[in-house]
Structure 1
Amino acid sequence: MKNNKNMANEEIDPVRMHLALTDDYLSDFEKRMLKRYGESLDGKSISRDILIPSDMPLHNLHYAIQKLFGWQNSHLRKFQLPESVYQKLTGNTVKGWSDLVGDLFQPPSEAEHDIFWDEDYRSGSINTWLKKKYTGPYVYGGNLEHPEAAKQDIQQMLDHFSMIEVQESVRDYLDRMKEDPDAERKILRKAPLIDLTLDEMNATLTMEGGTDSLLERLEADKLLAAQNEPMNDETLFPVTRELFYEYDFGDSWTVTITKHEDCADLLQQNLISEEELAIAEAEVLDKHKPVCIHKQGINVCDDVGGLSGFAEFLGTIYEGEDKSEASEARAWAKSLGWNVQKISNKKML
């Protein structure tokens, strides 16, 4: 895709991202409901193909994802790497992880007030508010994701735990309790935190935010490599061929994000025309905002129990024998912004 310049006179490109909302544990009934009423082709996923400005950070991509799938930005979220990539980068060691804090991973003290530094929605249209968040120019307004602040934060943690009692894992402890209900948790050894494995640290300390949350100030285009794009082990970026976006840790909605070099497959399948693509690319550059170019599957809604719960919800409102229950379910979903009205691609964002 051709280089262009936005209104701020900074060079940006339109970059294609594929977002797939999936669940590996759907029942046959749930898959059938998603196919029959959720407009899912395979019964296992709902997807969106979008073009984003190449300078779009994960933080702002989050708001676009909310709009694309019909959520109301009412729960926690995080971006993370595939487990295999995470393990390779960190070596499953505290040192390997801490070396990447501030460059790739969020610092241990990053609290909600800092992660959600611009959560200023009070009233009015949530969709209008979301649009402002995913439209550029993009500026990071928090504190702890700045490299200097993040590295100072992790160093303070390492200094504080210059020596720590390493506890056995919760799993090992629970296994021992089956034989001895009065068993106490074992202290395995004493060592500096920096010398532990991540498993040992996680067994010993409570890390509310975990260690795998990515910095949201990072640009999605730089983090992700397209399928055929070469990756160099000598450089940190691009770091992976796919990212995971998890929303609502109770319902655990999971969106897999991948990057494509172009839109040739969509054009070949006649899912989008050359003219539509050209218009979408121009809008990304002229308005400094993402554009949806293809969607497969209807919008979901919050608090329904993930993709599995949403499929059950569709079964209730369309095939449930209790008319009153179906009516109440519809009204409840409508109160969360859900509706069955078809939305054109260009109006998705």
Structure 2
Amino acid sequence: RMLIRYGESNSGDSITRDILIPSDMPLHNLHYAIQKLFGWQNTHLRSFYLPEEIYSKLTGGTVKGWTDLVGVLFQPPSEAEHDVFWDDDYERGSFKVWLKKKYTGPYIYGGIMEEPEIAKQDVERFLEQFNMIEVRESFMDYIDRKEQDENAEMKIIKIAPIIDLTLEEMNASLIIEGGTESLLERLEVNKVIAAQGEEVDSNNLFPVTKELIYNYDFGDNWIVKISKYKDCEDLLKQNIVGEYELEEAEEIVLDKHKPVCINKEGLSVLDDVGGLSGFADLLGTIYEGEDKEEASGARAWAKSLGWSAAKISNKIMI
């Protein structure tokens, strides 16, 4: 209700953006564009990953299936510890200007760990380090037993080579900082995602999906679902965007090598608000809170994180 009344969301349960992007934009640079489009400050962890059914199909649910695709599709196991933030170099000045430089081409990926040979070496070291592994029961199974017997200890089911395990067995037995699902950020958006209406050919690895998922701030757990369209016919037919506006946007993408927002639904959000439901609660406090001091404090806090309720045209969204 608050998102509809005060958050400019038609549905009340989502905030959306339609953008045109350069055809060679990598996921890494799309991350910065998403930050600007939704009002975040790039202060938390993030990940691009595939829908569960596609991830399971590609890997076969096995450690071997995953390792075969490390450096091709998935990040190596050590990347989250060392390399994923290779160009998060903001220090001072305008944060918006800094972001703009990140999502404007030409695009050069400077991370080392995602180079195919280095990624393969990293996963090989990982397999050597955990050559034989004690496979533990799942945490949920352990909790179920713990409820029956408070002295119960975690069960070791078997000892086996890690390469022979399922991903479920491996993940129950050891922690990989960045998980196994994170996609290589050097991959181009256009290469990874198939357009709506386009078939995903099982004989070819790319394009790999019709929907990509961006997860930001694993505490607030913001989820952005990303789809690709061949054209803007639907937006034109619904008079959401005009022919001239679209032509102008296309020229900017081509001439300035940067993304352009052509449609938005919903206000920008902010960091550390507790996800979309927390943002709705914040709007309720600001606009309908009975305690005026609390409402004023909530608005001031939101503004300190870059939030504004002012209407912003599509042209300056990004």
Q: For the superposition of Structure 1 and Structure 2, which TM-score range results when normalised by the shorter chain?
A: over 0.9
Deviations 1:68-115 (A, max 9, x none): 011111111110111111111111100111111001110001134410
Task: Tell whether 2:141 aligns with 1:172.
Answer: yes
Paired residue for 1:323?
292
Alignment of 1:46-65 (within 5 A): 46-65=15-34
Paired residue for 2:237?
268
Identity of aligned pairs, percent?
70
Residue type of the alignment partner of 2:202:
D
**1:222 offset after TM fit, Å?**
0.6
Alignment of 1:90-239 (within 5 A): 90-239=59-208
Residue type of the alignment partner of 1:103:
V
| TM value normalised by structure 2 | 0.99
CA contact (8 A) 2:80 2:177 kept: no
2 CA distance for matches of 1:205 and 1:345?
45
Paired residue for 1:296?
265
| SS class of match (2:15) | strand
2 CA distance for matches of 1:157 and 1:302?
34
1 CA distance for matches of 2:130 and 2:294?
54
Report the RMSD for the aligned CA atoms in angstroms: 0.8
| SS class of match (1:334) | helix
Task: Tell whether 2:210 aligns with 1:241.
Answer: yes
Residue type of the alignment partner of 1:87:
S
**1:161 offset after TM fit, Å?**
1.9
**1:184 offset after TM fit, Å?**
1.8
Bigger strand share: 1
2 CA distance for matches of 1:348 and 1:183?
55
Deviations 1:170-206 (A, max 9, x none): 1111111112211221111111100000000001111
Identify unmatched segments of 5+ residues in structure 1: 1-31
**1:241 offset after TM fit, Å?**
0.4
Paired residue for 1:310?
279
Q: Number of matched residues?
A: 318
**1:156 offset after TM fit, Å?**
1.0
Moved over 2 A (4+): none
| SS class of match (1:142) | coil
| SS class of match (2:107) | coil
Deviations 1:109-143 (A, max 9, x none): 11344101011101111100000000001011111
2 CA distance for matches of 1:239 and 1:212?
14
2 CA distance for matches of 1:67 and 1:269?
26
Deviations 1:236-259 (A, max 9, x none): 000000011111110001100000
Residue type of the alignment partner of 1:155:
E
Residue type of the alignment partner of 1:99:
D
Return the match for 1:81 from 27, 50, 60.
Answer: 50
1 CA distance for matches of 2:202 and 2:219?
35
2 CA distance for matches of 1:170 and 1:315?
38
**1:341 offset after TM fit, Å?**
1.2
| TM value normalised by structure 1 | 0.90
Paired residue for 1:282?
251
CA contact (8 A) 2:261 2:314 kept: yes
Residue type of the alignment partner of 1:208:
E
1 CA distance for matches of 2:244 and 2:312?
20
Residue type of the alignment partner of 2:125:
Q
2 CA distance for matches of 1:316 and 1:266?
34
